[in-house]
Structure formats: C-alpha cells, structure tokens
Chains A and B, each alone.
Chain A
Amino acid sequence: MNKVIHINLGGMPFIIDEDAYEALRDYLAAIHSHFRNSEGYEEITADIEARLAELFRESMGHRQIVTMKDVQEAIRIMGTPEVFEAEGESAAEGDAAPSGKQDAGAQPRWRTGRRLFRDPDDQVLGGVCSGLAAYLGIEDPIWVRLAFVLFTLSGGFGIPLYIILWIIVPEAKTASDRLAMRGEPINVSNIGKIIEEEMSQLSKRVSEFAEELGKEDWGGKKKSGRQRA
C-alpha cells in the first residue's frame, strides 16, 4: 500500500504515489534553482513542467496513478541540470554563480543541515541508535548502541529514553529524509543515488523472500514484504 498525493503539474491534475512525489518535487526544486537567474526563468520552468506532465500521460497509458517508474523515466528523458550544463548552455550566459566553476557550479547549491530521524535501513529495534549515529556523524551505530546498553546497565534510564525517542523521532521514510539524516545536500544526483540503493535493496529482499519460499515450500509463513504499486 502506498499513500498518494494530488498534484497540478503544468495545468494537469495527477494522482501520484508519495515516493514518486518526493522524487519529482526534489527534481523540480533542482530545475528551478538551476534556472533561477536565467533569462526567461518562468517560461523555461513552465515549459519543462508542461512537458513532464505530457511525458507522464504518455508513460501512464491507462493507469491512474503516477509511479516512481514514470518519474524516473521522465527525468531520464528531460535530463538533470548537470547534463544541461554539459551539453547546452554556453558558459557565458544564464548561470547564476560566476564563482562556480564547471563542476561545482553544476550542483544546485543549497544544503540542509543534518536532521534527526530513525533509520529504517539499519535498525535493531526502531532505528533510533543508527539515526542518532548519523545525526552525530558517528560512522558505526554500534557505538551508540553500546552507549545505550552501558547507560542502561549502569542504572540509567536507557530503556525509557529509547522508547521516548522511538515515539517522538520520525522515521526517515523518503529519499530526501534520508539525505537530511546523513546531512548530504539534496540534489538530483543524490536523490538518484538513494533511489538506486532502495531499488537494489528491494530486489535483494525479493530474492531473499523467493529463496525462503523455496526452502519452506510446505507452508512456512513469512510476513510479506512491503508492497509497491
């Protein structure tokens, strides 16, 4: 199951999966920040949005909902700001930062500080410790976990503290949450990286699940993996 979101893209209404929405939003943010200081900024971005809407319509066919695949395909056709810079715009025009050299200037230039999330990819219980480790910049969450255990054993209130954090700290659900958790800048290439990681994890889970099915053919039950549209 997946939550969906209603959007208006280039004057057309779409129903879009939440993860696909996040990816699209981040992509458009990168596009807008790339063209912000270009002549005709509004027209360029409106043209791009209208064309993305059209690409979605084409790749959806009779489906009702825009999925991550549709977004990825549209981004592949439209390209990222890094590619525009390489093949289209001459260095003399358009670009916002005169200080930005080829490589540095190609990245959208906003950066988020780290935010505290629970890390669903690396969890023993609720992912609190690995999220804390990412927040504090500690490479291996084992140290945070050990600290929690020691704290509890030495008579501290480690267990209630963990439970409170579990409740109040949100889980890093989307690609941009995960980037914010690690303190990486949110841009299209990073989002792409996260999505790729997610896809490979998903396929790993599927093959593990398939293996397990093979082993326990006589009715071993396993909780089914997250279902995706």
Chain B
Amino acid sequence: MKIENAIAQMRKGVLELCILGIISKGEAYPSDIIRSLKEAKLIVVEGTLYPLLTRLKNAGLLDYTWRESTSGPPRKYYHITPKGREFLNQLLLNWNGLVHAVEESTRHLQQTTSDNE
C-alpha cells in the first residue's frame, strides 16, 4: 500500500464537498473554482473538474447560467441549487463527525508529537 494512493483517496473523498462549498458562496466560473482547489492542493489540472461539475449538475445539485464574456464565447457560471445546499449540509455534518472520529482515534499520537516538540 502506497502512501500516495491513500492520500489521493482521501482527497477524492472531500472533492465534492469542497466544490459544493466553493460554489455555495456564489456564482462561480470553473477556472475560479480551480484556483481555490489548487491553493488547497486538492487538484492540479482543470480537466479533473469538468466531469465532476457535469455529474453534480446532472444530479440536480448544481445548475449553470450562460453569461456573455468579454473575451470570447459565453461562459457557463455555476450556482448551487436548494437540493445541492441540502446535500452540502448533510456532507458537512458527516465531515464534522469524521473530523471528530479522527481526532478521537489519533489523540494519543498527536499528544506524543507535540510532547516531542
């Protein structure tokens, strides 16, 4: 078992939560979403995002509107739907539970590392 794979799996797991979270702040263009995700080191290339957005849109969690752009063809701007907001809240609840679980099960390790410092 490789550490890179384990880390990649963890990141994949939270990707949808993060995308919904970013879009819930307001209308977003894919390249803006990418910028936030890149800063968080969640994804590196833009191509990863398009299939995810399409899937979330087809599931009714996101929707988009076409907006004219100054430099070229109209762009798709994504926004979250009420269903998506509900979904995001559920994910967040579970996420908080997970954070708690991780803290509980690794508390002794975190204490030792801070003791060593």
Interface residue tally for chain B (C-beta within 8 Å): 26
The residues of B that contact A31 with a CB separation of less than 8 Å are 47
Q: Mark B42-85, 1 if CB is under 8 A from A, else 0.
A: 01111111111111011000000000000111011000000000
**A31–B12 alpha-carbon span in the complex (Å):** 20
A80 to B58, CA, bound (A): 24
Considering only residues 10-34 of chain B, those with a C-beta below 8 Å from chain A are 11-12, 15, 30-31
Per the bound structure, the CA–CA distance linking A81 and B46 in Å amounts to 11
Given A10-B73, A57-B72, A51:B51 Cβ within 8 A: no
The B interface is mostly helix, strand or loop, or mixed, namely helix
Contact yes or no, B15 A88, CB < 8 A: yes
Q: How far is the CB of A24 from chain B (nearest CB, A)?
A: 14
What is the CA–CA distance of A12 and B15 in the complex, to the nearest angstrom?
Answer: 31
Return chain A residues, CB-CB under 8 Å to B73. 10-12, 50, 53-54
Whether B30 pairs with A78 at a CB distance below 8 angstroms is no
Does A84 lie within 8 Å of B47, measured CB to CB?
Answer: yes
> Does A88 contact B48, Cβ atoms closer than 8 Å?
yes
Asked whether B48 lies within 8 Å of A83 as measured between CB atoms, the reply is yes
A77 CA to B57 CA in the complex, in Å?
Answer: 23
Q: Which residues of B contact A88 (CB under 8 A)?
A: 12, 15, 43, 47-49, 51-52
The answer to whether B11 and A87 touch across the interface, beta carbons within 8 angstroms, is: yes
Contacts of B57 in A (CB 8 A): 40
* Contact between B72 and A54, CB atoms less than 8 A apart: yes
Chain A residues with CB below 8 A from B58, complex form: 39-40
Determine, out of A41-49, A104-112, A132-140, the stretch whose residues face the partner at the interface.
Answer: A41-49
Interface centre among A51, A78, A79, A80 (most CB of B within 10 A): A51
Query: Which chain A residues in 64-101 approach chain B with CB under 8 Å?
Result: 77-81, 83-84, 86-90, 93-94
Expressed in whole angstroms, the minimum distance between the Cβ of B56 and any Cβ of chain A is 10
Q: How long is the Cα–Cα vector from A57 to B31 in the complex, in angstroms?
A: 15
With A and B bound together, what is the CA distance between A80 and B45 in angstroms? 8
Kindly name the residue among B45, B47, B75 whose own CB sees the greatest number of chain A CB atoms within 10 A. Answer: B47
**Do A54 and B71 form a contact, CB below 8 Å, given A79-B46, A79-B48, A89-B51?**
yes
Q: Which of B67-107 contact A (CB under 8 A)?
A: 71-73, 75-76
Question: Which B residues touch A87, using CB under 8 A?
Answer: 8, 11-12, 43-45, 48
Top 6 nearest A-B pairs (CB, nearest first) are A79-B45, A88-B48, A40-B54, A79-B47, A78-B47, A47-B50
- Residues on A lying within 8 angstroms of B by beta carbon are 10-12, 31, 35, 38-40, 43-44, 47-48, 50-51, 53-54, 57-58, 77-81, 83-84, 86-90, 93-94
